[in-house]
Each structure stands twice: as structure tokens, then as C-alpha cells.
Amino acid sequence: HAVADHGTHGAESVDYPDYARKVVADVAAGAVPFGVLVCGSGIGMAITANRHAGIRATVVHNTTEARLTRQHNDANIACFGARTMGIETVLDSLRVFLETPFEGGRHAPRVAKIEG
């Protein structure tokens, strides 16, 4: 996959909303089909991202959640917790997230209601 890396590139503390907004802008504009956000728990990133129209960000903990959030919710940003997950689980979950299509069907009207 081609990657647009919006940082951070160091160990110093940063304000994660600043980084979330950069990824959200790319996804919302259609410049990239999916985004990946990482913070301590993934929760702050998901909260920040979901404040923007057209964004369906979710915290993912495993491959089942990765599959279901794509199939049923057409999620377009996966959020991971650096303090709560191991790298192998993150990579497996991200692979499933990126490979799983949205099912549409009965889920499409529900996603439309989210977009309100």
C-alpha cells in the first residue's frame, strides 16, 4: 500500500488531535481510501476523527472487529492503541481492515443514517 505518513516521528509528547486532523483531511477529500491513527489507547484518535463529516473511525482490537467494522459500518479509519495492543495483532487487524469490503445491503441505510 502507498502510505501518506503524517507523523509523528519521535518519542516526545504531542497533541494527537493535530495528527488526527491531517489524516481525516486526506480521507474526507478522497486523497486516500483509508486512514490509520495510533495513540495510547486509540480512543482519543477515534473521538477526534469522528467529529468530521464522512469519517467513520473505529478503535480496532482484533481481526473480528476489523472485519465487522468494514463489513457493517464501512469504517474508513482504523484506530489502534500503542499501549494496549501488540504489534502483531495490530498488523493482522490492519490487514483484515484493508482487505474487507463493505457489504452494503441492509447495512447501507444504517451507514446513511450515521451520515445524517
Catalytic residue among 6, 61, 72, 107: 72
* Catalytic-residue membership of 107: no
Q: Decide: helix, strand or coil at residue 4.
A: coil
Reference 66, options 31, 48, 90, 88; nearest CA is 90
> Where in the sequence numbering do the catalytic residues fall?
72
